[in-house]
Amino acid sequence: MTKKIHLGWFTEYGPIGWDAQDATEGDWRGPDMYQEMARICERGMFDFALFADHLGITSSFGDSIDNYIKHGLNGINHDATLLCSMVAAATNHLGVGTTVSTMLTPPYLQARQTASLDHLTKGRVAWNVVTTGNIAGFLNFGVEQPEHDARYDIADEYLELCFKLWGSWAPDAVQMDRAGGVFADPDKVKPIHHEGRYFKSRGPLNVVSSPQGRPTIIQAGSSERGKTFAARWADAVIVGAHYLDDMKAYYEEMKQRVADQGRDPAQFKVFFIVKPVLGQTEADVQRKLAALEDPPESAIFTALAALSSRMNYDLSQFNLDEPLPQIDERQIKGGQTTLSRFYTAGRKPTLREVAKQEAAGNKGGITGTPEQVADQMQHIMETVGGDGFVIRVNVHERAYMQEFVDTVVPLLQQRGLMRTVYNGTTLRDNLMEY
């Protein structure tokens, strides 16, 4: 029997999707749209909602911020950490997480904020750890951007320090003994006296031990250095892979890397980013596929701008109707495998074809009626392994999420492939349940 499937929702706190013809009406700046989407996800027994975040408006595409501002693209983001608390308040079981940079956020502040959020959400917080590949944030903070692998060296110590801070209060330190006048046992709260190459902190954290003990750690690195980092620290990884053979190779490699770190691979989850093309009839599916095959130029532009932002590398310089020339991944300061995943096993798509795939968001190629989509999701789990899928849709695509939750999720549940109730009390409980 195929193991049960975990699901997550991945989006960002920004205007992406504001101009789509079928966009849900509402104000993306306020909490209501995100809270409603989160309630839909919770009805669908999702594990978490994860909000990407950026610390600056990039100029990666065409060497200008104007493109991103004019079209409301990547980089225009409000603070997703604050949004997490609003979404958690509107749900009871769904985990909430946000992207936070190890390069541009002091580690003590990050440890303190996530521990506080873990209390406020009763143990439902995740942290998507990034080392910030795009230079925009560094320019805004007025600091130099280290090279790709050096950022991960810094991140290793950053996580080491955060783990020490989260552990500086024993779980049973707080007594609140009114009769004895003792709030907490001093013997169970200790400074950490961390002095490393990059960071120094006395500790202890001034936030008491939280329900999870520490946030659930999520990571999305696919470079060699990023995979090493994830295998050491992460509870889960999310990855964009377009083909079954790539999915299987990544899954098996990451499970082995985790074992090599002395960790239990069963306590490490691999999520594949997908956006199935879903229709209630064959005719609906074919209509949607035809639209994706012939997107407007604006969609191509948006996709290339997004890819450029993710890589911190300008793709506007290349011919749309030719395959990309060989690019030394060491020149890419951001996601080093953002492009290479399109060119595996000798595949040579043109840049336009790459942009069309990116615009569709249908990594994994899942298409069909609800029954067919459920079949394909099951097939991926049986063939590839993996622990689940992250559905990447923006907050304006409420109708899509409702359709997926109302028609695909029940089929998976009927097959015993998804939970029908939340059994855990924390995000990590639910994530590690199966």
Q: Can you name the residues that pair with 101 across neighbouring β-strands? A: 130
Average pLDDT over the chain reads 92
User: Does an H or E element contain 52, and which?
Assistant: strand 48-52
**In this predicted model, what pLDDT tens digit does every residue of 282-315 receive, in sequence order?**
999 999 988 888 877 777 878 888 788 777 778 8
What number is the average pLDDT over the span 335-363? Answer: 71
When computed from its CA atoms, the radius of gyration of the chain, rounded to whole angstroms, is 22
d(CA 398, CA 23): 8
Q: Which runs of consecutive H residues, i.e. helices, occur in 98-223?
A: 107-120, 136-141, 148-166
CB atoms within 10 A of CB 165: 25
Under the banding of pLDDT at 50, 70 and 90, the label for residue 318 is: confident
The pLDDT value recorded for residue 164 is: 98
Closest CA to 273 of 353, 360, 371, 368: 360
**Domain 6-168+196-275+361-431 belongs in CATH node 3.40.50.300:** no
Annotated binding residue at 148?
Answer: yes
Annotated binding residue at 60?
Answer: no
**In this predicted model, what pLDDT tens digit does every residue of 373-390 receive, in sequence order?**
999 999 999 999 889 999
Check: CB of residue 85 under 8 Å from CB of residue 125.
no
- Contacts for 291 with CB less than 8 Å, ≥ 6 apart: none
Closest CA to 205 of 169, 229, 179, 234: 169
Annotated binding residue at 53?
Answer: yes
The amino acid at residue 223 is S
Q: Show me where the domains of the chain are located.
A: 6-168+196-275+361-431
The pLDDT value recorded for residue 359 is: 76
Q: What does residue 218 show for φ and ψ, rounded to 5 degrees?
A: -120, 145
Greatest distance between any 2 Cα atoms in the chain = 77
d(CA 256, CA 316): 38
Annotated binding residue at 152?
Answer: yes
d(CA 317, CA 320): 9
Pairing state between β 95-101 and 48-52: parallel
* Helix/strand/coil for 182: strand
What number is the average pLDDT over the span 166-189? Answer: 98
Annotated binding residue at 99?
Answer: yes
The pLDDT value recorded for residue 94 is: 98
* Helix/strand/coil for 8: strand
Closest CA to 207 of 70, 114, 289: 114
Lowest mean pLDDT across 132-141, 279-288, 321-330: 321-330
